[in-house]
Amino acid sequence: MFIISCGTNFEPEINSISAEPNPVVTGETVTLNCFASDDDEPNILKNESIDYTWFTAYGNIIPSESPEMVTWLAPQDSVEYSISCKVSDQYNGVDIATIEITVE
């Protein structure tokens, strides 16, 4: 007799997203960190990885060696901007968080 068990995929979850400094001066940089976890650890899917995607309509996102951390180059206009981080796993689990950054 064979028993086959299918693991349950839990979606990755963003625990927090941070920006330092915030507010920022026009043309300066901000370090962004996205802290995420995936509760698949105790089951058969424990080796899945989390992919990070950063996006914004304004300014430039500069990647780093760690995908959960990027640098954002603030635009020259003094307003509030939104930057989002999307985390996903290879089983189509997704979470998105957005942070507001004030440019002065």
Residue-range domain boundaries for the chain? 13-102
How confident is the model at residue 90, as a pLDDT?
84
What ranges make up the beta strands (E) of 1-104? Answer: 13-20, 29-37, 51-55, 60-63, 69-73, 80-88, 94-102
pTM: 0.84
- pLDDT band at residue 2 under the 50/70/90 scheme: low
- Token digits for 24? 């920022």
The pLDDT tens digits for 21-63 are 999 999 999 999 999 988 765 555 555 689 999 999 999 999 9
Tracing tokens 């180059």 back to the chain, one arrives at 73
- CATH architecture, domain 13-102: Sandwich (2.60)
